[in-house]
Structure 1
Amino acid sequence: MFHSYLFPISYAFMTFPVAALFFTLPFLIVQYRKHGYINKVRAIMLYLLLLYLMNAYFLVLLPLPAARHNEPLAGIPYQLIPFNFIHDILKETNVSAQDVSTYWKLLTERAFLQVVFNIVLTVPFGLFLRYYFRTSWIRGILLCFLLSLSFEITQLTGIFGFYDHPYRVFDVDDLIMNTLGGMIGFLLAEWFSGLLPRIEHLDKEVDIAGKRVSYTRRAVALLFDGFICLILFNIATILDVPAAFWIVTGLYFMVFPFLNKGRTFGKWLVRIHLTGEAGRLKLTGLMIRYGLLYWIFFGLNLMIVTASLPSYGSTLFAFVIFVMDLWFAIHVLRRFFSKKPMLLYEQLSGTKHQITWQRPTPELAQKPAE
């Protein structure tokens, strides 16, 4: 029986890197927007929560039927009598109430182990609810019940219609035991919290506005800005706007941030902005910064694809671009691991990124948490 549990757990761990990859972008955005920076404790806890939920659902859903057009279950696909598990245990057990030496046999019997499994399954969820999310008792019970209900509905509907028929029984006892397990975890969290930093104190005495803007944060902003620019570039191309790339990048990365306190949409999303010398952002600084990056570096790379040059000229041009790209890649890597991370176009333009975060006033900083 324990082997049947190891099978879905192994699949959960194997697919976790893929799920974590898709989880990372929304995780980064939420953390930057809500907290202003990435805290390692929060990151570890949320990725552990993702890993737990994957294990929980895999344990409940696997193994899957061999084909989508599966056969219906024998009998009624639901069990709505509360505490029917007691009847199942008494019916299958070899334990004798008069013989204490037979009690250990419960630990090897399917019906009893199924109850224990349903309790243990949601204990970690209760731990997360109380330690990380700081939920109340009422909300904790409701969320544990809803998690269990999602397990049962997913099974009853054949994973929401993917399979023709349910392949597991909807059991009200599972709802009860899962909710009980979550509340046990909720109780254990009080002891567990003493071993880890308090979640509500993670940002205490952290100067968020003074933190360095990481390349990861900048990359997330660039991802969204690049997507918006791609849409604008395609629109400009359809409208036959001449020099569409240079016009779009000039308006979006130079004019728009100048009028919007140094922010593009991507920068706003991750709470960063550009600032100039003495805290004043000038249009000339933006033109130097993004003129070097987009009009020269990216612009020359674009030209090698779109320009019509003689064969000898094309080869020479491609070689020059390759050398430039290689130099730029090495330059970025060196700055990535350097204590002075400003890139060349930032130094020449006198511009840099800052976190858009209002420092709390002394009165607010001293106010106790409600």
Structure 2
Amino acid sequence: MSVYINPIANGITVSLMIIYLAFIPVLIYQYRKNGTFLVRKNIVLASFAVYMITAFFMTLLPLPSIEAVKNMAPIRANYHPFLFVKTFLNESGFIWNEMGTWFRAFCSPSFYTVAFNVLLTLPFGVYLRKYFNKGLFQTAVLGFLLSFFYEATQYTGVWWIYPHAFRYPDVDDLIVNTLGTVIGFYAAGLFDKLLPDPMKDKSLKTEYASLLRRLISLLIDSIFVNIVYELLRVVVLLAAGKKENTIDIVLYLISVVIIFILIPCISKKKRTFGMTILKLALRDGKGNVPRLSGMIMHNLFIAFWLNVAVNIIGMIDNAWIIIFLQLVVLGFAAALLIISIKNKRVTYFWEKFFDTYMKADL
């Protein structure tokens, strides 16, 4: 079973890493285009990525060393269609009118190898019909092309990385994989109601700015703060030739002022980089661009509570000051949570105080 388990584990691991790296860019794109995070669509896309990568790994792994392949005798491909039927009948002991031979035959390698190849591409047929709206003929052709890619990868020694093939290219795999895709096409119809439907996701072109959208915006601004901070550190270190925590704190505060105050002040729509990328904007109670003083106080408040207080903790040596700042941050989080629970929605209580409200820029 390790022949199958290891490639599956590796495929899932790699695909999850790709999903992790793509998560923030996908969030940004969907917030800009649709105004919301499309949960069902992203579940489908993520599962499709996991399936495609895992299926490919199952046809490829484990990879031998190049030296080992050099010492192997060249592997001859099978060009005889339906050889798997003859192999099954000769090696499994299957006799159609003797029920006692059936179980033993279905447990033989000549059967479960073919069954594996059917199951390998069965999900592909489901995805093509359910989520890509392909007909039967298109599904069969795409299933054949996917299988052909697998076989070509094996036949060429992973596209000539290896001196020759180290796996057994087989025309029967093309037939069986294509059959698996077609079976998946029909299976999609049977399980249609059990599968997530991306069409139920709706664009949310409203002014409401969700907590996740705000946090992504803040994350982007924090990245820019750290970029400016590191650039300032380089300049100061080159000029002064020494490093001190006090200087680091001052440089970090200057970086925060540049990103959260200076940039919005000089920008046309009074937005930070993160707000621009996420299509967010500050508005007053009447829906207009807020006063400059209100914008500055709002951004300073956000920058301190959710950025400076967290990052400066790592720059301070005094344990009592660290504990105090941690308690302050926890107190802020607790206040936000309690007020939000009371109002039965996420409530940003400081917005009313400054008369500045974060809205989606439609």
Deviates more, 1:341-350 or 1:283-292: 341-350
**Match of 1:273, SS?**
strand
* Percent of residue pairs identical: 29
Deviates more, 1:133-142 or 1:319-328: 133-142
**Residue of structure 1 equivalent to 2:326:** 322
8 Å contact 1:70–1:163 — kept in the other structure? Answer: no
Residue 343 (structure 1) aligned to one of 337, 345, 348: 348
**1:252 partnered with 2:256:** no
- The CA RMSD measured in Å over matched residues stands at 4.2
8 Å contact 1:262–1:275 — kept in the other structure? Answer: no
**1:279 partnered with 2:275:** no
Shift of 1:59: 3.5
Cα-to-partner distance string for 1:137-162 (whole Å, 9 max, x where unaligned): 56544543444345445555666788
**Residue of structure 2 equivalent to 1:368:** none
Describe how 1:1-370 pairs up with structure 2 within 5 A.
5=4, 8-9=7-8, 21-22=20-21, 24-53=23-52, 55-63=54-62, 65=64, 69-71=67-69, 73-76=72-75, 78-96=77-95, 99=97, 101=99, 104=102, 106-135=105-134, 140-141=139-140, 143-153=142-152, 155=154, 166-195=165-194, 198-203=197-202, 208-210=204-206, 212-240=208-236, 244-257=251-264, 259-261=267-269, 263-282=271-290, 283-294=292-303, 298-299=307-308, 314=318, 317-334=321-338, 339-357=344-362
Deviates more, 1:118-127 or 1:10-19: 10-19
**Match of 2:68, SS?**
coil
Deviates more, 1:115-124 or 1:226-235: 226-235
Distance change >3 Å, CA 70–CA 275, structure 1 → 2: farther
Shift of 1:217: 2.5
Shift of 1:37: 1.8
Opposite residue 70 of structure 1, the aligned amino acid is A
Shift of 1:288: 0.7
8 Å contact 2:74–2:164 — kept in the other structure? Answer: no
**Residue of structure 1 equivalent to 2:244:** none
8 Å contact 1:246–1:295 — kept in the other structure? Answer: no
8 Å contact 1:288–1:348 — kept in the other structure? Answer: no
Separation in structure 2 between the aligned mates of residue 165 and residue 175 of structure 1, nearest angstrom = 20
Cα-to-partner distance string for 1:213-261 (whole Å, 9 max, x where unaligned): 3332322222223223322333344445996544543343345446353
8 Å contact 1:209–1:354 — kept in the other structure? Answer: no
**Match of 2:167, SS?**
coil
**Match of 1:170, SS?**
coil
Shift of 1:299: 4.4
Shift of 1:268: 4.2
Shift of 1:320: 3.6
Distance change >3 Å, CA 145–CA 236, structure 1 → 2: farther
8 Å contact 1:289–1:348 — kept in the other structure? Answer: no
Name stretches of at least 5 consecutive residues in structure 2 with no aligned partner.
Answer: 240-246
**Match of 2:222, SS?**
helix
Opposite residue 219 of structure 2, the aligned amino acid is L
Shift of 1:4: 5.2
**Match of 1:70, SS?**
helix
Shift of 1:127: 1.0
Cα-to-partner distance string for 1:148-202 (whole Å, 9 max, x where unaligned): 3454455556667887875422333323322332232223323433555653353
Opposite residue 119 of structure 2, the aligned amino acid is V
